[in-house]
Amino acid sequence: MITLALSKGRIFEETLPLLAAAGIQVLEDPEKSRKLILPTNRDDVRVVLVRATDVPTYVQHGGADIGVAGKDVLIEHTGSQEGSDGLYQPLDLNIAKCRMSVAVRADFDYAAAVKQGSRIRVATKYTAIAREHFANKGVHVDLIKLYGSMELAPLTGLADAIVDLVSTGNTLKANKLVEVEEIMQISSRLVVNQASLKLKREAIRAVIQAFESAIPQ
């Protein structure tokens, strides 16, 4: 049996065409079902639904053999861009594409604050990425950990800036924030448990190859 960990929403939706290329169809709609283990058309493949941030944990510790996770989630999980023990990342799937950026209120002069060497209060869910980014720039920051709705932090005076994901820019615009720095491009990767790769080599290799053939350009 191969267990594939996915999160509901965009990762699930954007992984479906890759699964189809591997001859795998998920038999239930996660938006309609309350089940957390979904059967597929193949007796030897099942999908488990977990929070996006939990995918690397499931795969690293063998709760799933393979999974799909954003680069943001993977860096935060490992605490760096180095990778982590037992978690193999063979493919960039080029799905769930966005960027990690710094954003501020339109009336906050970010360039001046950086130039003056002021301490900047930064609210984010992505503390590892933010810490590394500002350390590399030599900017002193006080990081404020949030779990969502980062856009609210500069509007309420909780922070001067946020580090968050941006795609269309609509969320920033709706909250009168402006993007002042792009930190990195983000997409989702296939992650594989290293022990599973040895024990279930043939089956997992076949999935990796099928996914590779169907990566969107």
From CA 206, how far away is CA 4, in angstroms rounded? 14
Q: What's the min distance (Å) between Cβ of 57 and ligand ATP? A: 11
| Angle in degrees, CA 118, 120, 122, rounded to 5 | 170
Residue 32 half-sphere exposure toward CB, CA atoms < 13 A: 4
Among the listed residues 62, 169, 175, 181, the single contact to ligand PRP using CB under 6 A: 169
Taking the least distance from each CB to ligand ATP, the nearer of 83 and 117 is: 83
From CA 110, how far away is CA 182, in angstroms rounded? 13
Taking the least distance from each CB to ligand PRP, the nearer of 138 and 148 is: 148
Nearest 10 degrees: CA dihedral of 101, 105, 111, 112?
A: -150
Per partner kind, with CB cut-offs from 5 to 8 A, the member of ligand PRP, ligand ATP, none near residue 169 is ligand PRP
Q: What's the min distance (Å) between Cβ of 65 and ligand ATP? A: 20
Site for ligand ATP, rule CB under 6 A: 7, 9-11, 51-53, 70, 72-73, 96-98, 165, 167, 186, 188
Taking the least distance from each CB to ligand ATP, the nearer of 177 and 186 is: 186
Q: Token pair for residue 107?
A: 């009336």
Tell me the DSSP string of 145-170.
E-SS-TTHHHHHTS-SEEEEEESSSH
Per partner kind, with CB cut-offs from 5 to 8 A, the member of ligand PRP, ligand ATP, none near residue 70 is ligand ATP
Residue 156 makes contact with ligand PRP by CB under 6 A:
no
Residues making contact with ligand PRP (CB under 6 A): 148, 164-171
